[in-house]
A and B are shown apart, each in its own frame.
Chain A
């Protein structure tokens, strides 16, 4: 496997279900991101993990719970979602630099989530 992989690629779930999205990066990066892309809207950053720290978008509901067990793996745990949570969820990784250099993010193919 190369780059950033995501599983599953498609997920349909009911509002009472609990499911998890998985992301794995094979690039040796030290930062991983979750984004939400709703139709006709900008990608919305949900969470960033890097070097055992986390930054989150305060507008993300608590029914989304991220987990980052190591620098290569990232999960998004979902529970009691709403139909408006249906969207494309994208994972990305990058090499976080502390010297003012920006390194672009590499994205996975996304998980298309439908909440019934």
Chain B
């Protein structure tokens, strides 16, 4: 049973506009959430994370929002740039599990058009 879901397989956005990627989870034990970015022929690279004790974390153009009551998080990219075109994966983990077993969503393909 998939515990992390990204219901939008793709997103197209114009350069300069905001990209909003969504992620839902079902396991209330998850307390740390991450976004990874993946280009073709490369492995995923860590982008930004958020702990469940926060509701927002910002790093440059990237902001992650967490709504624990709704079990929902989102990634905002402002402004979107052509280099942001990639697949974005949401992931979640229970930090009480020292093995750090991440649960991933299926990914959202973002295409930023000029």
Instruction: How many A-B residue pairs have C-beta atoms within 8 angstroms? Tell me.
Output: 63
Residues of A within 8 A of B4 (CB): 42
B99→A55 contact, CB < 8 A? yes
With contact pairs A42-B106, A110-B43 given, residues A94 and B89 touching in the complex (Cβ less than 8 Å): no
B99 and A96: CB pair below 8 A? yes
Q: Does B28 make an interface contact (CB < 8 A)?
A: no
Question: In the complex the two chains form, what is the Cα distance from A100 to B91 in whole Å?
Answer: 17
Q: Describe A's contact surface by its main secondary structure.
A: loop
Contact A96 B46 (CB under 8 A): no
Chain B interface size band reads: 20 to 34
The reply to whether A48 and B102 contact each other, CB–CB distance below 8 Å, is no
Q: Considering the complex, which residues of chain A in the window 41-59 have a beta carbon less than 8 Å from any beta carbon of chain B?
A: 41-45, 48, 50, 55
Q: Give A residues with C-beta under 8 Å from B.
A: 4, 31, 40-45, 48, 50, 55, 90, 92, 94, 96-98, 100-110
A-B contact pairs, 18 of them (CB 8 A): A4-B43, A31-B99, A40-B106, A41-B106, A42-B103, A45-B101, A45-B102, A48-B100, A96-B98, A96-B99, A100-B95, A102-B95, A103-B100, A104-B34, A105-B46, A105-B100, A105-B102, A109-B42
